[in-house]
Amino acid sequence: MPAIHGRTREQLRQHIGRALGGLYVSSASTSGSTITLLDNTLVLGGADNQIGKWIRFTSGDNDALTRRITDSSISSNVTTNTFAPAATSATASESYELWESAYNPDDIDDFINQAILAATGWVYDPIENIGLHGDGRQVRFDIPSGISMISKLEYRSKVKATRLHGAAATFDETTDGDFTQSLDTKDKKQGSQSLKMVIASGASAGDFVTDSITSKDLSGYDTIEMWVKSTVATSAGNLKLLLDNSAACASPLETLSIPALSADTWTFVRMSLANPETDTAIISIGLEYDADLGAVTVWVDDISAVANDTAQWGTLDRRNWKIDKESRDLILVRDGHSAVGYSLIKITGGDKPALLTSDATATEIDEDYIIAQAISLALLAASGGPATDPDARRQLSAFWTDQATRARRAFPMLANVRSVD
């Protein structure tokens, strides 16, 4: 599965245009109007030779706009191309592409994406995801979005970690009348209980509760991990975890935004410490309510700090997991459940290659393949019968199709992959 970030859409399009013999790249030499572009370097035949060609602006206020030339004139070595429909006034130094009438640059962009779509199943955009965590009981997991195939499944067998709060007690260092806390022995993810906080509708953004903990030196750690559940969907930062070296989180050293949560779903979240080098004596931990969510109940469990670069991973045998395509679920079978246990899960896989939606976006597929396939499509679209295809574009299209096929055959083989969709 090749890691294949390469040329941008603009670079691909211009390469294709030059191969087709249908592109001239330049920039305006003088400011024009909403319907004219002036260039003193354009010396491609007489004035009438420009009529019907396409202008594709590649900078300035008109960036990415395509216009067709309706009239052209030359005066004092300056070519004035009149185009339609109108655009923002073209200014001096505004770059553009000039395309032969047979090749609309918007079509070329579309052919590039058609080539990408045709490669789906042959190549994928590589992905590593550590968004899932086993709890010792769960055997079915929602596969995170953006994953179309899985080649390997691993579980974190060892990592340097220190627990900050195991949800064995309520946050009673600083309390708030709108927070009613209890230990929940039925709805939990680790140990005997979780910490349940019923937050009343009268709570205001900025309200928080804290708990004192034994001093922890977190300078050797980089990430906080914890379980969280909410009865309502939240956005990132609606809830925050506070860490401080002073009592009651008086001036938090770390204010960590808890990621977005789906309603009524336990979520394992990971948050990077901002300044671990200063977190040498953490003695207070807090949960801050930072949005008007109305009445909401929040559960938290197993708040720990980990050092990511110390993680060791075990590979799960392929016989011990499968994919339910209909529900997009990862299922642990046989010994998979016991092997994962209570540990972080790493998915190595890939997503369908993304289409290029702007000139700045880069391809995730071998550029030689895209260029050849797009050229073939462009030639085929511009061809016709013998009377209308004097340049033998259909024959040239077949040549470039063959080149694209050869390039695709050179893609690394995708072995032992399982499709998600």
Residue 5: pLDDT over 60: no
Domain count for the chain, please give it. 3
Looking at the structure, tell me whether residues 222 and 370 fall in a common domain.
Answer: no
- For 215, 219, 223, 317, 318, the CA distances from 154, given in Å and listed in that order, are 33, 27, 20, 9, 10
For 89, the enclosing helix (H) or strand (E) is none
Looking at the structure, tell me whether residues 160 and 60 fall in a common domain.
Answer: no
Q: Which domain holds residue 181?
A: 128-351
Looking at the structure, tell me whether residues 373 and 342 fall in a common domain.
Answer: no
pTM over 0.85: no
Residue 78: pLDDT over 80: yes
Looking at the structure, tell me whether residues 40 and 57 fall in a common domain.
Answer: yes
Q: Do residues 238 and 256 lie in contact, with contact meaning Cβ atoms separated by under 8 Å?
A: no
Looking at the structure, tell me whether residues 300 and 153 fall in a common domain.
Answer: yes
Q: For 11-52, list the strands marked E by DSSP.
A: 23-27, 36-39
Looking at the structure, tell me whether residues 325 and 413 fall in a common domain.
Answer: no
Residue 3: pLDDT over 60: no
Q: Do residues 144 and 127 lie in contact, with contact meaning Cβ atoms separated by under 8 Å?
A: no
Which residues have C-beta within 8 Å of that of residue 221, sequence separation ≥ 6? Answer: 160, 161, 162, 273, 276, 279, 305, 306, 307
78 strand-pairing partners: 75
Looking at residue 387, its pLDDT comes to 61
Looking at residue 342, its pLDDT comes to 95
Three-state DSSP state, 372: helix
Looking at the structure, tell me whether residues 201 and 236 fall in a common domain.
Answer: yes
Residue type, 361: T
Looking at the structure, tell me whether residues 118 and 193 fall in a common domain.
Answer: no
Residue 47: pLDDT over 70: no
Three-state DSSP state, 156: strand
Residue 370: pLDDT over 80: yes
Looking at the structure, tell me whether residues 242 and 342 fall in a common domain.
Answer: yes
Dihedrals phi, psi of 230, to nearest 5 degrees: -135, 145
Looking at residue 174, its pLDDT comes to 95
